[in-house]
Structure 1
Amino acid sequence: MSDSLRTDIGQSGPTHTGPGTQNVFYGARSTTWDPRPLATDHLERLAERFVEPAAYREALKVFRERGTVLLRGNAGSGRTATARMLLHDNRRLFTTLREVLPETEDGKPGLGSYMLGEREGLLLDLSELGPTLWESVEKDLPAFHQSVRERRSRLVVVLPSSEGQRTADPFLEEHAVDLLRAEPLDVLNRSLGLVDDPSLPLDPPPEEILGFLKGVERLNDVAYLSVLISQYRDRDPANAAVEWCRSAVKVLTQPPRVPSKMEFATARQKALLLSTAVLDAARPKSVHIVCEKLLDKTSHQEISVPLLDRTDLSTQLDEIGAVHDADGRVRFKEPDFAQAVRNHFWDYTPWLRNELKDWITESVAEPVLDAQERSALVASMAEELARSQEPHTTLWQFSLQLAESSLPEARQAAVEAMGWGLAHPSWARGFSRHLYDYAKTASLSEPLRGVLIEACLGPLAERFPDQALVRLHHLARRLDSAGAATQALRSLTAGNPRLCGFALERLARGMKRNQAERDTQLLMELSTPGDLLSPPGNAQPLLLSRVVRQCLSRCWRVLLTCRPPADWTPALRDWFTTIHQSPTGHAPLFLDLLMAACHGHPDAYGLLYRAARHHPIRPLLRTRLNDARALSF
């Protein structure tokens, strides 16, 4: 008896398995997440499609007058999109827009002002927080709001899904606005109006559209419907617009099935079917190689057939319902069919799951695959692990397995897998915590260490740069023989005064504690004249930032009062040389912060003077020291 290859995926679009809210953001694949929710291009694209909910103007008023607004509503009501648009519509008030994670500096649930800068537009998305974590974060919100106001910033908070549930603190309730979702038909028509076709949107819409919208629960499903209509229009522009709409609704209400004709498929056909599904738009040769790997992994032995008698790959693909697109890549003819195939094998052949994991792990390192194909494999695995009992844990373990490989392709795939978890609405905090715990581990293999550094500097820094800095700092403290973590820290803080100040503040604290020696070395490496006076591109020199000078002055106060001169004299003399060579430039600002560092510590003045005894800067330094001493009395 052969296995049946017939399966359905859900009843209305994406499969929702497991408890909690389902978040689906549609992109190239049907379940991908936005890693840069406040990037300018993403916000502009959202603005083109955004339909204001009824309470948008009320939320805008609270945001502008009180500085913090809490958006409350049911899942699918558009809270997150509304939060982003509030920031986008007020972007001229801010120096930057960014997202903050509900996490303290030591990786625990909560909020801390350590991450705040001046005049920032901040998004705090708590939509996926459970009751216990919400209680912890809710206690910190009043103080966090005050810190935001003191820095002339503003904050939008997306509260966990609720039906009119009030906050425990009456003060917070004054900042809350209840959102009701916009009309789904308005949302659909707004999106379709951007399609370059005069026949869209249809007025009146067909009954199939109205029936679907009547039962839709989440605006994400409406967004996906518009994507499908546009795809059908691109595929068959000669067809009537009403047929595009009907076909799109059919995909969402009658999801594709692995065809019954495959019920008696051969092992090779099954392997080719799954290989095409996990690669999802790959070159034929890549599909063939991955298919052969799966046959080997499952110990399949085929009857030997002379080479010229074998069925060509094009015919084999046609037999499973796949075609070549205009770019020469292999796709299934039916929309969403690839996901149906992946779900079928994961759900109905559980005895193959370990082999499938190993197969994908080995396939991502295949040199013939290009970056797009390798990313598709990682995404396919991540999507299936998302449907497991402990999704973020199993995805993390998959990432670690890839990270320990000796092959650079596998390690790059590990970074992508970690990025997948960090971009996921429900898993970002858990993945951030995993990175934190591993960054503090002394016994890391070099391959894993390199992957962690890349994940911090890449996907984590794109969304949560403060958390990335903390983890890179821990990695730089521990066995950074090649200097990769230190260089990553330098890259992250270059041209960013807020992050540079944050790094210096951490170093100042560390030099007083059990990391004194290594943090002193890091300070010397990260605060050279080149770092602070020669920014990348057109950025302003970091030394011109008041925040950076204040934090660097605190660092030098610790050096001058707690560390032996041998630790810091060579670096200080480098600065003396830079100041002497360009006395009218920005470098003399360094003398100002040194004088501030010495204030209240008379012995520190003498240490500075002794460091300059044989340097041409001695006359200038003596004058500054005398002036500073006079002011201190």
Structure 2
Amino acid sequence: MTEAPPVAEAVEPPRTEVNHSDGPIHTGTGNQLNDIRYYESRPRKPRVTSVTPASLRELADRFVAPPGFQRAATVLARSDGLVILSGAAGTGRNAAALMLLRTGITADTVVRFISPDRETSAVAVERRIFEAEDVRDDDRLVLDLSEADGESFAELQDYLPALQPALEQRRAKLVAILPHPHGESLKTELLPFVVEIRRPDMLEILRRRFAAEGLSATDLSGYRDAFGSSSIDALVRVVHRVREARHARPGIATDALLAEILNSAEKRRQRVAYAVKSLEAARPRALLIAAALLHGFSLQTVFLAQERLLESLRVADTEDHALEVPRVEQALAELTLELSVTPEPGQRLLFRDLELPAEVLRHFWDEMPWLRGRLTGWVGDLVESGVGTLDRFDMATVARRFGAQCRRTRDADLAVRLVEKWSDDRYQSQRSAAYTLLEELLDDDGTAPAARQLLYGWSRDARLSDGRAAIVVSACVKILAERYLDQAVVRLFWLADHSAPDVRLAAQDGLRQLAAEPGRRLAVIDAVLERWRFDPAKFAAVAAPELLSIFRGTAALERIVAGWQRALLESEGTRQSTLFRLWLRAYAEALTEGRSSDADAVQRLLAQVCAHHRELLDALFTTTLEWLDVRGDDPIRRRTAQVVEELVRRGRRLIAPEADS
């Protein structure tokens, strides 16, 4: 059986933007904060962070139970609450895990993903991944170990038996996914929980996927061999291509579109393989690689990139003709892949088939793996030197195309090398390319551990450059927190100890952004409340008074009040006054905006924080007087001061009634 031809990723179209000159930023707050604003403004499709009952129902419509699924369900139904799935990659183990956890959930239940990696250079208390105390009542958990290396996998196994009492006590369920193959490395006590998941009926999955997209195929039986060994991801890509083709050509039957797409993918691979085989010399092969990576870029840029690649490979020039740009266009025509060059001005290189560039890169990357290191150095040099007319967007495009190859073959180390190379550059365009490449790595479970470890190491560096600090903040807020919130908090927590004030404030603002989303606010607060990492300023950043109204009447409020008491009691002088001013501003802003109920909530919560602590009441009163003196003519401030004065009076009376009688 042959694998179904995967549909190559579409190559980005040529860009027409004209950008401002790109160099170091010397105005405003500096590179670091400008970088953060740029990264945060970029559009991004979020990953799945938790799975709700609604999304499980949607998945159920497309799910086909694989062999072994019912046995796994039986094992998971036991009071132990644990099942461990083995099986080959690409057989739908993640989907099976989610469907196993669907049984018995309520409308409020979500499936949570446990971080599979531990920080190799972390302090001891940070190295835990997930412990019994983290298990909630009726929890539904997925621990995907499929990409864990041998050493990490052996270490992580110690945690599964330790979780079982908590799973049973809290009626929780955990599905773990093993690496494949795992050989004899699995501990004996875990063997009773292991169930092998085998490949499901791929044609039935294809039918259901088509149905979910509103498509129907008359006869799929002829594709059993084509999809028999294909991964589910490859199958899904084919379905998406058929959907797009049907939208563009609504009159064509689904069967015909499917056949056309599969045949064209196979022909494309054969065509590229033939073209490469026909090019025996290094120079035309270098031109083909440069053209594929820089499709849509200027002819001059392609020419210069070809020359740099030849230099990096140390190939002597034995050609008869001179190395001039006009000769490149003629050489392109000899590549037999229907490349063209747009007219002046611009002269951009184009492939007629937009999927050929990705296929060319795939071919060289897979068939000549010994070139990967050299290609990595070449790509790094292209971006670092800004070869030709590359602007910030072009550099990000190069990073994305290179990252796609690293993701496919799990070559995270090569990509990390370029992230480190570009991220410390003084030009924002290179730093943007570094962020783009890091984003590619973080979006794939196979390459994400290396990227997360890089971010951790950076966050612990008290003298980290502004450019890298901006990458840490943005990556934690926009990417890492989507699935592994605690890891994002840890990195921002350490970065908030940076030697530079601007970086410290940016990291605290990152923590504040994490807590701004109501759905994860409590999780962020709880993470910062952990005893070993508690810090008053960082706690105040995530538990800002104006964010706490959603916890009114909940059990979490007690923990938050205790956290604020601790923050204030552990602070003195100016630091304590700064924390109290957050409460005064929150109350005043609510009054100014006509949110009287929110103002009342802030007042009540502040009274709880200061209750039974005479020293806090005294400090609050003093801070309020100082705050009022700054703008004593402001009616909102005067009203706030009156409310606080009454709050302090009542608080003192409760502590020592006789003193105020």
- Give the TM-score normalised by structure 1: 0.73
The unaligned stretches of length 5 or more in structure 1 are: 1-10, 15-23, 513-518, 534-540
Match of 1:516 in 2: none
Q: How does 1:557-572 map to 2 (within 5 A)?
A: 557-572=565-580
Matched with 1:8 is none
Aligned to 1:316: 333
- The whole-number CA distance in structure 1 between the counterparts of 2:341 and 2:100 is 43
Aligned pair partner of 1:141 in 160, 168, 171: 160
Say if 1:463 and 1:409 are closer, same or farther in 2 by CA, change over 3 A.
farther
CA distance 1:498–1:306, shift in 2 (3 Å) = closer
The aligned residue for residue 273 of structure 2 is 257
Matching of residue 555 in structure 1 with residue 563 in structure 2: yes
Deviation at 1:449, TM superposition (A): 1.7
For 1:180, the equivalent position in structure 2 comes to: 198
| Worse overlay, 409-418 or 344-353 | 344-353
Q: For residues 237-280 of structure 1, give each alpha carbon's deviation from its aligned partner in whole angstroms, at most 9, with x where no partner exists.
A: 5995685387278469979514267425683x43442133224x
Describe the superposition over 1:500-539 as per-residue Cα deviations: whole angstroms up to 9, x where unpaired: 5534653673687xxxxxx333344554444x26xxxxxx
CA distance in 2, matches of 1:289, 1:361: 11
1:585 maps onto 2:597 in alignment? yes
Matched, 1:427 2:447: yes
- Structure 1 residues 210 and 94: alpha-carbon distance in aligned structure 2, compared to 1, 3 A threshold: same
CA contact (8 A) 2:419 2:438 kept: yes
The verdict on how the C-alpha distance between 1:550 and 1:52 changes in structure 2, with shifts beyond 3 A counting, is: same
User: 2:87 is matched with which residue?
Assistant: 74
Conserved 8 A contact 1:403-1:410: yes
Q: Alpha carbons of 1:166 and 1:509: their partners in 2 closer, same or farther (altered >3 Å)? A: closer
Tell me the amino acid that sits aligned with residue 558 of structure 1.
Answer: R
| Matched residue type, 2:304 | E
Please give the alpha-carbon distance, in whole angstroms, between the structure 1 residues aligned to 2:165 and 2:473: 34
Q: For the residues of structure 1 that align with 2:267 and 2:55, how far apart are their CA atoms?
A: 26
1:571-598: per-residue Cα shift (whole Å, max 9, x none)? Answer: 3255256558759624455566556656
1:259-274 matches, within 5 Å, as 259=275, 262-264=278-280, 267=283, 269-274=284-289
User: 1:459: which partner in 2?
Assistant: 479
Partner of 2:463: 443
What is the deviation of 1:623? 1.7
Q: Which string of whole-angstrom CA distances, capped at 9 and with x for unpartnered residues, describes residues 31-90 of structure 1?
A: xx9943657898787555431224445555666775944241211332112123445787
Matched, 1:83 2:97: yes
Moved more, 619-628 or 356-365: 356-365
**Deviation readout 1:411-445 (Å, 9 max, x if unpaired):** 12211222222233233233222211220111211
Q: How many percent of aligned residue pairs carry the same amino acid?
A: 20
Instruction: Find 2:48's aligned residue among 36, 53, 56.
Output: 36
Indicate yes or no: 2:303 matched with 1:295.
no
Counterparts of 1:428-577 in structure 2, within 5 Å, are 428-482=448-502, 483-496=505-518, 498-500=520-522, 502-503=524-525, 506=528, 509=531, 519-530=535-546, 532=547, 541-544=549-552, 546=554, 549-576=557-584
Matching residue's letter, 1:378: A
SS in 2 for 1:406: coil
3-state secondary structure, aligned to 2:158: helix
Q: Deviations over 1:119-150 (max 9, x none)?
A: 76432211222454334323223444555677
CA distance, structure 2, for counterparts of residue 130 and residue 48 of structure 1: 34
Q: Which amino acid aligns with 1:549?
A: L
Q: Give the 3 Å change call, closer, same or farther, for CA 102–296 of structure 1 in structure 2.
A: closer
**Which secondary structure state, in structure 2, belongs to the residue aligned with residue 444 of structure 1?**
coil
User: Residues 365 and 626 of structure 1: is their aligned pair in 2 closer, same or farther, counting only changes over 3 Å?
Assistant: farther
Counterpart residue number, 2:263 = 247
Counterpart secondary structure, 2:433: helix
1:94 aligns with 2:108: yes
Establish whether residue 618 from structure 1 lines up as the match of residue 637 from structure 2.
no
SS at match of 1:160: coil
| Distance change in 2, residues 1:315/1:510 (3 Å) | closer
Counterparts of 2:623 and 2:76, CA distance in 1: 53
Give the superposition deviation at 1:468. Answer: 0.9
Q: Is the 8 A contact 1:127 1:158 kept in 2?
A: yes
Change beyond 3 A, Cα 1:264–1:431 = closer
Task: Report the residue type matching 2:127 in the other structure.
Answer: K
Between the two proteins, the alignment pairs up a number of residues equal to 581
| 1:267-298 superposed Cα distances (whole Å, 9 cap, x missing partner) | 3x43442133224xx43x44652443332564
The more displaced of 95-104 and 239-248 is: 239-248
TM-score when normalising by structure 2 = 0.70
Distance in 2, matches of 1:625 and 1:176, equals 62
CA distance 1:557–1:191, change in 2 (3 Å): closer
Residue 421 of structure 2 corresponds to residue 408 of structure 1? no
Distance 1:575 1:222, change over 3 A: closer
Q: Hey, what does 1:276 align to over in structure 2?
A: 291
Cα deviation for residue 323 of structure 1 reads 6.9
Q: Choose which of 356, 360, 364 in structure 2 pairs with 1:342.
A: 364
Gaps of 5+ in 2: 12-44, 343-348, 627-640
Specify which of 191, 206, 212 is matched with residue 209 of structure 2.
191
Q: Is the Cα–Cα contact under 8 Å of residues 56 and 98 in structure 2 kept in the other structure?
A: yes
CA–CA separation in structure 2 for the residues paired with 1:286 and 1:598: 66
Say if 2:8 and 2:359, in contact at 8 Å, map to a contact too: no
